[in-house]
A and B are shown apart, each in its own frame.
Chain A
Amino acid sequence: MKTWHRFAACIALGLVGGAAFAVHQVRGGLSDGMVEIGPWETGKSFGTVDANALTRAKVALSGLLALPAKEAMYFTATRDSDGRKLNGRCTYVVRGGKLDGRWWSITLYEGEGWLVKNAANRWSIPASAVATDTQGRWSFTVSPNAQSGSWLPTGSVDAFDLTLRLYHPAADIIKNPEKAQLPIIDRKGCA
């Protein structure tokens, strides 16, 4: 093999390999390398000039037009509270208490962040849709089958994630998201 052949082969491999590795990392999910709070993960630099190139690319792919933390925080869970991947054929109870912000909602997505078709035409549970007890505790069910009370359908997809949006979060949560008291995701069973 001539010298220029070796250079050409290595440079071609470098080009393809470098680009492929970048795509692999960007597609690796919204949450890699961020702050973990139980099953939930978030980042501190969404939408800001402080975001590094990898975070900016990940957010552009999985959460384009995300707001900075002072306006809204996004917590994403791809696993339940026992660490098992969220499965659309399973039933979960999501339980939480008062979330320290102006308004919240939890939305179910599949793939890179698409709403799931379902017969109930319901894709999220906003704060106004759950009943709270005297201590401010609430719960709702995530399931492929209709449930009594607040129910978020999974559409029986293979895998899904839950995104908790917290608008106008309290200063403490912005500063220390790892200390936020976020909901538990409890798997009850699978079909």
Chain B
Amino acid sequence: MMRRCLFPIVAGGLVALGAYQATLLATPYALMQAALKKIGNRGPENQFAFSSMTTAANQTIVRPSPDLAYAACAFDVSKGPVLVDVQPVPDHYWSVSIFDARTDVAAVRSDRDTKGKAARLALVNAGQTAPAGYEPVRVGYDRGLVLIRILVAPASTFPTIDAIRRKSTCKQL
């Protein structure tokens, strides 16, 4: 009896290990796809969508910060590099981060890195090159997300910050 059950049990154990690992590996892709779809619903691909300040009533992504103004661009470099120009907001923390389809960070640049100047990034895949004047950021997957964070403190500064951040662009070359 034991011998007849041994091989099926071993096979089941191996399949369980595989299913466990496959589920872990698939989870970030699936959640990023869902996020890209949500952001895609708010604006075209390769273009920033500028969110209002996050409240309990308008949460799109898990664990948002109500102190930050966000702008998000769902990018796709399959048809060419995507250029990201981030307008600096003086005297406020701001950063731009590039997330790939696996949720890993391909690059982060903040006002500390640029010394308060604009960030100019070119998202490129393995076969593409960045145009002059842009820092190349090689992404492992064609699709992903660009996210700008700007600290809004005090809250009354939001209109001023909003006007500045809307000068930032995300566009296909």
B108 touches A71 (CB 8 A): yes
B61 touches A64 (CB 8 A): yes
A47 touches B103 (CB 8 A): yes
A22 touches B19 (CB 8 A): yes
A71 touches B153 (CB 8 A): no
Question: 8 Å CB contacts to A: which residues of B2-32?
Answer: 4-5, 7-9, 11-25, 27-28, 31-32
Is the C-beta of A113 less than 8 angstroms from some C-beta in chain B? Answer: yes
Is the C-beta of A191 less than 8 angstroms from some C-beta in chain B? Answer: no
Is the C-beta of B35 less than 8 angstroms from some C-beta in chain A? Answer: yes
B20 touches A114 (CB 8 A): no
Is the C-beta of B95 less than 8 angstroms from some C-beta in chain A? Answer: yes
Give the number of chain B interface residues (Cβ < 8 Å): 53
B23 touches A22 (CB 8 A): yes
**Cβ contacts under 8 Å, A117 to chain B:** 56-57
What sequence of 0s and 1s flags, for each residue 64-90 of chain A, a beta carbon within 8 Å of any chain B beta carbon? 111110110000000000000000000
Is the C-beta of B80 less than 8 angstroms from some C-beta in chain A? Answer: no
Known: A54-B24, A71-B95. Contact between A64 and B67, CB under 8 A? no
A121 touches B62 (CB 8 A): no
* Residue on B nearest A21 in the bound complex, by CB: B20
**Cβ contacts under 8 Å, B15 to chain A:** 10-11, 14-15, 18
Checking B19, B66, B112 against A18 with a beta-carbon cut-off of 8 angstroms, the contacting residue is B19
8 interchain residue pairs of minimum CB distance? A10-B12, A18-B19, A113-B63, A14-B15, A18-B16, A22-B23, A14-B16, A14-B12
